[in-house]
Structure 1
């Protein structure tokens, strides 16, 4: 009897193995065929599972891709843990963060899925709510905390509306990337940081470039 218990398959481990296979398959396929041709059937076939297994855990291909992106981000060290850098220099730290953002948009492994997710989130309120809860708000709180630190150091005004400041810093970068209006470069992100901090009345920073 004891021997039977030792050799019984671990259902939890099997389920986790299937889940990770599904997420890996979704990420591989979206890179190969694009989001519009990505399907639950295709993901199931690539992962070696039935469609119902996928639908038991996710309501749509967008939800699968979102979890796949989170899994790969965490595995590649690009997750939300750890907070934003805080060297005591808000200008240098924000430039570092936005330059890293440019680097991620240049990574073909992430760029396609990121675009697909952005479009899907815009049209799917349920997925947008999941994104806000699991990634959007945690990231935003990290940004708020870095700005609070700059306030405590006297580098930003005490009464600053942090959410508006975040939008001013990050939205131009996202818009340029999403709509491809102009090349998204590190030089551009540096100018954004300089101009926004100057406009917010930050102290101890360089003047924005002309």
Structure 2
């Protein structure tokens, strides 16, 4: 996230982000304060305010960095179903790591704080959605349950891919945010299979001659 003002020391920035991460896990969202982060990181409170407007901005910065690796799509030569299963397992694990606690805390705070909701949706969630959409489209373009493997990615427009992405991630988010527990591997596997089956059905329907 770009900030105005003096150039930041990378070592200090990382110290602040790590301190925010640790404090959120230890004390929860309400227990995290600018004063606490500054004390844990060993920097002056004024330094934090020069670079971030609030603790929410610090946590968003922390989340963005952690998610680049933790939620990245690592596609290879496995089958479509295996690739989706692996990605769901990565997300499932991420939710229960310190970085995932940050995401869960921000999502919770966003329900009652419009400013946090706006910052989260216009920043991290929008960017992660784009990455997830690209990852899912790549899987569908390269691997599909129907015969026209190479055509699937082109035939499914953005609206359909968005629906499939909701279907892919919805059960995992529900288990984590509502049930407060990790999703079982069987649920993740069934979800991956359902998404591919639905994509194949839509593709076949699009290719059937009308009339």
TM-score normalised per structure 2: 0.73
Bigger Rg, structure 1 or 2: 1
Deviation, structure 1 residue 167: 1.0
- 1:137-158 C-alpha deviation (Å, 9 max, x unpaired): 3332233233433246245681
In structure 2, relative to structure 1, the CA distance for the partners of 1:196 and 1:105 (3 Å cut) is same
CA distance in 2, matches of 1:165, 1:32: 36
Kept in 2, the 8 Å contact 1:98–1:186? The answer is: no
Matched, 1:62 2:56: yes
Unaligned runs of 5+ in 1: 1-10, 204-210
Deviation, structure 1 residue 88: 6.5
In the alignment, what sits opposite 1:153?
A: 150
Matched, 1:138 2:137: no
Q: Which residue, out of 56, 63, 75, partners 1:85?
A: 75
In the alignment, what sits opposite 1:174?
A: 173
TM-score normalised per structure 1: 0.73
In the alignment, what sits opposite 2:42?
A: 48
Matched, 1:163 2:152: no
Q: What secondary structure sits across from 1:64 in the alignment?
A: helix
Kept in 2, the 8 Å contact 1:30–1:113? The answer is: yes
- For the aligned residue pairs, the C-alpha RMSD in angstroms reads 2.9
**Which shifted more, 191-200 or 162-171?**
191-200
Q: What secondary structure sits across from 1:71 in the alignment?
A: helix
Kept in 2, the 8 Å contact 1:147–1:156? The answer is: no
